[in-house]
Structure 1
Amino acid sequence: MPNAPIDHDAALAMWAEYRAAHPAIATDAEPPSVERFGDHPELTDELLGLVLDGTKRATATLVAEFAAEEQALPRVGSHWIACDSTGAPRVVLRSTELRVGPFTSVDAAFADDEGEDDRSLESWRENHSRYWRRTAAAIGLEWTEQHEVVFERFRVVWPPEVADGRSA
C-alpha cells in the first residue's frame, strides 16, 4: 500500500504559522518543498517518529531523485516540510549542512545522525542500498554505489513543541 497523497493546503498553512512566528528566519523566496521520508507507510512513519523523538537529524537522498521530481537541490538555511504516511504535515525542517558525494563517501558520524536501525555505518549502507535499489528502479535507473547522494543534516524548527532547542 502506498503513502496517501500529501495535503499541500495543510502544509502551506503550517508554513504560514511558522513564517508568522519567525519572520526573520523564514525568508525562503518560495514555499518550501513538502516531502516525506521513506517510500511506504510503515517506513515513512517510522522515520518521522525518529525525527519527532529527536533521534534523526540527518537524511540522504539521491541527486537523481531531485532531478526526476524536477526539484532543485536543497541549500543550507532552506526549509522543507515533512509529512506522515497519511499526507499530513508534521514538522518544518531547516537544512543546516549539505554535502553531495557518492554513496561510498558516507561516514559513521552521518550514519549515527540519521538515527536509523542500530545507527552503525554498516547498517546504514545495507539499508540505504536496499532502499535506493527500489527508488532508483522507480525512476528508471539501475542503482550503483557511485550514484551521487545529497547528505543533509537538519534541525526541527516547527511546531514549537517538537522544535530543537524549542526555538527556530
Structure 2
Amino acid sequence: MDVMIYKKKIKQKFSIPSSQKISIYSLGDTDELAMSLGKLVIDGTKKASTSGYRLYESGPIPKKGDISIIIDNHHHPLCTIRNTAVKTVKFNDMTEDEVRKEGESDLSLASWKEDHRQFLTPYYQKYLGIDFTEDEMVVHEEFEVIDVYEKSKKTNKS
C-alpha cells in the first residue's frame, strides 16, 4: 500500500481532521537501521526517540499528541505512532530512564550517547556546518503505537 493511502486510512480510522498534519519518516539513515528500529517500535521495545534540536530550524518542533507514520527506507508504511510526551533537553542531561525507553543497543546511557553522537555528528556537519557536542539541545519524544500496518504485522513475525 502506498504510504499516502495508508495516511488517508489512518485519518479516517482515528477521525483526524484532513487539515491536521501527519508526519511521515523513517528512523535511522540506512535501510537496515530503518527496518531494525521500525521493528523495535512495532514490538513495543522502542517507545522513544531523540533528535537534534537544531535540525528543526526549518520546521516545527514535535509536540505531545503529534501523529506520525513510520516508514522503511523504501517509503513503505510500518506503523503509526502518537507522541505521549516531548521535551527539549541538553544531550548531556539525558537520563538512563529516558534512553532505556529508546530500546536500542544495550540500553545503557553510555552506549546511547556513543550511538547518537555518531548518528548526529554528520547531520550537524552537513546541514549546519558545525560539530555536534554534548551541550547541544535534543528533542526527546516518547510515543505509543496506535496502528500497525497489516503487512508489517506479518513481516515482523519473522
TM-score by length of 1: 0.82
Q: Does 1:92 align with 2:80?
A: yes
Counterpart CA distance in 1 for 2:69 and 2:63 is 14
Note the C-alpha offset of 1:21: 1.5
Tell me which moved more, 35-44 or 93-102. 35-44
The aligned residue for residue 52 of structure 1 is: 42
The aligned residue for residue 12 of structure 2 is: 20
The aligned residue for residue 133 of structure 2 is: 144
Is the contact between residue 28 and residue 78 of structure 1 (CA under 8 Å) also seen in structure 2? no
Give a deviation string over 1:144-163, Cα, whole Å, max 9, x none. Answer: 11111000100111137689
Gaps of 5+ in 2: 154-158
Is the contact between residue 56 and residue 113 of structure 1 (CA under 8 Å) also seen in structure 2? yes
Is the contact between residue 78 and residue 149 of structure 2 (CA under 8 Å) also seen in structure 1? no
Counterpart CA distance in 1 for 2:69 and 2:147 is 9
The aligned residue for residue 36 of structure 1 is: 26
Note the C-alpha offset of 1:122: 1.2
Is the contact between residue 64 and residue 83 of structure 2 (CA under 8 Å) also seen in structure 1? yes
Change (3 A) 1:124 1:28: farther
Please provide the CA RMSD for this pair.
2.0
Counterpart CA distance in 2 for 1:129 and 1:46 is 19
Counterpart CA distance in 1 for 2:97 and 2:17 is 30
Q: SS state of the match for residue 114, structure 1?
A: coil
Gaps of 5+ in 1: 1-8, 164-168
1:73 pairs with 47, 61, 83, which one?
61
1:120 pairs with 87, 104, 108, which one?
108
Q: How many residues are treated as equivalent by the alignment? A: 151
Identity %: 26
Counterpart CA distance in 2 for 1:155 and 1:112 is 15
Counterpart CA distance in 1 for 2:25 and 2:10 is 17
Counterpart CA distance in 2 for 1:145 and 1:102 is 7
Note the C-alpha offset of 1:27: 4.4
1:130 pairs with 97, 118, 141, which one?
118
